[in-house]
């Protein structure tokens, strides 16, 4: 039996987190010995972009080209994906955790009567039931969760598996879904999106600043460092509360939860609520002038000193090394 993966696009490009979900599906299919991965992609997408989903592990792509689906209209996406999923006879649906993915997955769970687990961090165990490991308490613990329904939906956390890059082009088929007008009743009237930047929830490297940066006028050096690394910029909650940085950059318990390979925290004290958003990072670097800052306890590497001196030096050292 096949495994279906719902992939998201942003402005005509398949999102990287979705490609990771495809690779998760591929690894799961290998583990269960079950068939192939079928990706379901929505909205206007070029033929090349669709076929390239194969490189991450999909054998086939069902493309629902209805251009009303270019935008993330939650109910319409849920209806379209449900129909594509049912057409394949598959029992497992995978998707990447995201703002749209979560909302669509929840509706799909009811439509398909499928058990849903979110924040999945590794491949399921299959002995003694279908047991999925999920991150809970905002990264402070894990739970083994047993899905008891025959249909299953897994919303995958970033970095649950490595993205596969060496697959072959996928076969693309068009699929037509019947979506009722009422699914489009709520209108997206405008979208504001940072352009040309690495998106924080998807970034492999994050450069994050706290109140120790003293003011928004000092963010230039963090942006320089981020650009040098191809990183996204983040911040602590007070920084976005005061309006130094936009809300979508706020990292932590009540903000974005990131899972980069490298998180660089500059002038952030490391309050437990901030750490809750970064504890899934592979490597944490802390720059803080206070040697007693709690963040050092959660860090892999640290420099005690003044950010205003260290950050420009770090940027220069990186530029020199590459």
Partner 1 sequence: MKILVCITHVPDTTSKIQFTANNTKFDSTGVQFIIGPYDDYALARAVELRDQTGGTLTALNVGEAETEQTLRKALAIGADDAIRVNSFPKDSFFVAQQIAHFAKEGGYELILMGRESIDFNGGMVHGMVGELLGMPSFSPVMKLELEGTTVKMAREIEGGKEHLEGKLPLIAGCQEPIAEWKIPNMRGIMSARTKPLVVVEPVSQETQAEASSYQLPPAKGSVKLVDKDQVSELVRLLKNEAKVL
Ligand X SMILES: Cc1cc2nc3c(=O)[nH]c(=O)nc-3n(C[C@H](O)[C@H](O)[C@H](O)COP(=O)(O)OP(=O)(O)OC[C@H]3O[C@@H](n4cnc5c(N)ncnc54)[C@H](O)[C@@H]3O)c2cc1C
Minimum CB separation of residue 236 from ligand X in Å reads: 3
Query: Shortest distance, CB of residue 224 to ligand X, whole angstroms?
Result: 16
- For ligand X, the binding residue among 70, 169, 308, 312 (CB under 6 A) is 308
231 contact partners, CB below 8 Å, separation of at least 6: 198, 203, 204, 205, 206, 207, 225, 260, 262, 264
* The entry of partner 1, ligand X, none that residue 308 binds, CB within 5 to 8 Å by partner kind: ligand X
Residue 270: is it exposed, middle or buried by C-beta count within 10 angstroms (0-12/13-18/19+)? buried
Window 239-268: contact mask with ligand X (x via CB under 6 A): x-----------xxxxx-----------xx
String marking each residue 168-197 x if it binds partner 1 according to CB under 8 A: -----------------xxxxxxxxxx--x
Least spacing, CB of residue 267 vs ligand X, in Å: 4
Rg (CA), the chain: 21
Which listed option, partner 1, ligand X, none, makes contact with residue 267 (CB within 5 to 8 Å by class)?
ligand X
Dist. CA 64–CA 49, nearest whole Å:
14
Comparison of 73 and 239: residue with beta carbon closer to ligand X? 239
CB of 49 to partner 1, least distance (A): 18
Our measurement of the distance from residue 169's CA atom to the centroid of its chain's CA atoms, rounded to an integer in Å, reads 23
With binding defined as CB under 6 A, does residue 210 bind ligand X?
yes
Task: Answer whether 55's CB lies under 8 Å from 136's CB.
Answer: no
Q: CB-based contacts of 193: which residues, under 8 Å, 6+ apart? A: none
Among 133, 164, 245, 274, contact with ligand X (rule: CB under 6 A): 274
Rounded CA separation 239/219 (Å)? 11
Q: Which of 166, 181, 292, 321 is in the footprint of partner 1 by CB under 8 A?
A: 321
Name the binder of 221 from ligand X, partner 1, none, CB < 5-8 A by kind: none
Minimal CA–CA distance to 4: which of 31, 35, 30? 35
> Of 184 and 308, which has the nearer Cβ to ligand X?
308
- Residue 242: which of ligand X, partner 1, none does it interact with, CB under 5 to 8 A by kind? none
Please tell me the distance from the alpha carbon of residue 179 to that of residue 293, in angstroms, as a whole number: 54
Binding residue (CB under 6 A) for ligand X from 51, 169, 271, 312: 271
Q: Are 212 and 236 in contact (CB under 8 A)?
A: no
List the interface residues with ligand X, window 276-305 (CB under 6 A): 277, 287-290, 293
Classify burial at 312, counting beta carbons within 10 Å of its beta carbon; exposed 0-12, middle 13-18, buried 19 or more: middle
Out of partner 1, ligand X, none, what residue 236 binds, judged by CB under 5 to 8 A for its kind, is: ligand X
Q: How far apart are CA 266 and CA 315, in angstroms?
A: 13
Query: SS3 of 6, please?
Result: strand
Report which DSSP code applies to 271.
Answer: -
The region of 19-27, 80-88, 164-172, 306-314 touching ligand X under the rule CB under 6 A is: 306-314
**Residues of this chain that bind ligand X (CB under 6 A):** 210-212, 236-239, 251-255, 267-269, 271, 273-274, 277, 287-290, 293, 306-308
């Amino acid at each position: 039996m096949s495994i279906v993966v719902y992939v998201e696009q942003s402005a005509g490009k398949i999102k990287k987190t979705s490609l990771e979900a495809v690779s998760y599906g591929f690894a799961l299919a290998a583990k269960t010995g079950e068939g192939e991965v079928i990706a379901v992609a929505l909205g206007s997408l070029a033929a090349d972009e669709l076929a390239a989903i194969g490189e991450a592990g999909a054998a086939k792509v069902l493309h629902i080209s209805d251009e009303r689906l270019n935008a993330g209209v939650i109910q319409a996406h849920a209806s379209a994906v449900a129909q594509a999923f049912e057409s394949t006879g598959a029992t497992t649906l995978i998707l990447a955790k995201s703002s749209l993915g979560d909302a669509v997955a929840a509706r799909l769970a009811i439509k398909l009567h499928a058990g849903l687990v979110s924040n999945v961090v590794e491949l399921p165990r299959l002995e003694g039931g279908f047991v999925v490991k999920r991150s809970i308490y905002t990264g402070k613990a894990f739970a083994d969760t047993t899905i008891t329904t025959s249909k299953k939906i897994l919303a995958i956390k970033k970095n649950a598996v490595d993205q596969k890059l060496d697959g072959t082009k996928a076969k693309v088929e068009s699929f037509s879904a019947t979506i009722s007008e009422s699914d489009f009743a709520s209108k997206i009237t405008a979208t504001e999106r940072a352009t040309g930047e690495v998106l924080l929830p998807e970034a492999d490297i994050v450069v994050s600043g706290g109140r120790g940066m003293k003011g928004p006028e000092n963010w230039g050096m963090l942006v320089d460092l981020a650009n040098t690394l191809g990183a996204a910029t983040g911040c602590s909650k007070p920084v976005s509360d005061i309006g130094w940085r936009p809300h979508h950059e706020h990292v932590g318990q009540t903000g974005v939860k990131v899972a980069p390979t490298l998180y660089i925290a500059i002038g952030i004290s490391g309050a437990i609520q901030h750490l809750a958003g970064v504890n899934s990072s592979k490597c944490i670097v802390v720059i803080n002038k206070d040697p007693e800052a709690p963040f050092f306890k959660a860090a892999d590497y640290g420099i005690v000193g003044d950010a205003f001196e260290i950050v420009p030096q770090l940027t220069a050292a990186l530029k020199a090394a590459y």
